[in-house]
Amino acid sequence: MSRLILMRHGQASFTGEVYDALSPLGFEQATQVGRWWKTHKPVPDEVWTGPLRRQRETAESLAQASWPAVRNEVRLDEFADRDAILDSPEARRLLAQQRLGEVADRIQAYQSAIEAWTAGRVQLPGTLPIETFRARIAAWLEECLSRTGSGRTVLAVTSAGVIATAVAALLEAPNPAIPRVLRVLRNASMTEILFSGSMRSLNSINDVQALSEQQLTLM
């Protein structure tokens, strides 16, 4: 039996000028997961990260000296960045109403735009359609699970959209399930898939046992 662990990056800067960078807490989360891993998980045989800065910073912060070199995989990129999502017609419509306060309005608009995109109702600026993105993640997932030998551990540091889409693909769930999973994935959480031959099983999702209560964040 082998395992693939999909880890979401640490907290980025959702309300900051530049979103794609870990916050101080994000670095703390990644470092804490690295410390926890030493006594709870085997040394990974492969470590992958997406191309985004927040993904790379997370992988570099948790990696141990005994681990293999972190390798890049473009297919672990998120489906869209914060600004593209908030610039969508769905998000702009909600932001124009300004009902909940600046941060809460931005979060609501962000989540609603993702729901509209996964339902195929809108196209986010500069992003792939949901079916194309899902097919890309499903292809990467199958490639990863097929090539890895027995008893191996693979760690992939990525983003919530990739993890939620991988879970939907594994469970053969419809696209509307993706935002339902995405919105509950904590920063630096781990989702584990067990596999052997043609068998694939979701063992755990959104595991944050490595973090303290004070380190738990969603955005």
Q: Where are the domains of the chain?
A: 2-77+128-215, 80-127
Name the CATH topology of 2-77+128-215: Rossmann fold (3.40.50)
pLDDT confidence of residue 121: 87
Q: Give the full edge-to-edge strand order of the sheet including 199-207.
A: 70-72, 46-49, 153-158, 2-8, 190-196, 199-207
pLDDT of residue 136: 97
Other residues' Cβ atoms within 10 Å of the Cβ of residue 21? 15
Q: How far is CA 9 from CA 26, 36, 43, 45, 186, in A?
A: 8, 16, 19, 19, 9
Average pLDDT by stretches of 10, the chain with 219 residues: 96 84 96 96 96 97 94 96 86 75 81 91 88 96 85 96 97 96 97 93 97 95
Rounded CA separation 105/114 (Å):
14
Distance between CA atoms of 77 and 72, rounded to whole angstroms?
A: 10
**Chain-centroid distance, C-alpha 219:** 11
Type of residue at 206 = N
Question: Could you write out the DSSP letters of every residue in 152-172?
Answer: -EEEEEE-HHHHHHHHHHHHT
Give me the pLDDT at residue 185, please.
98
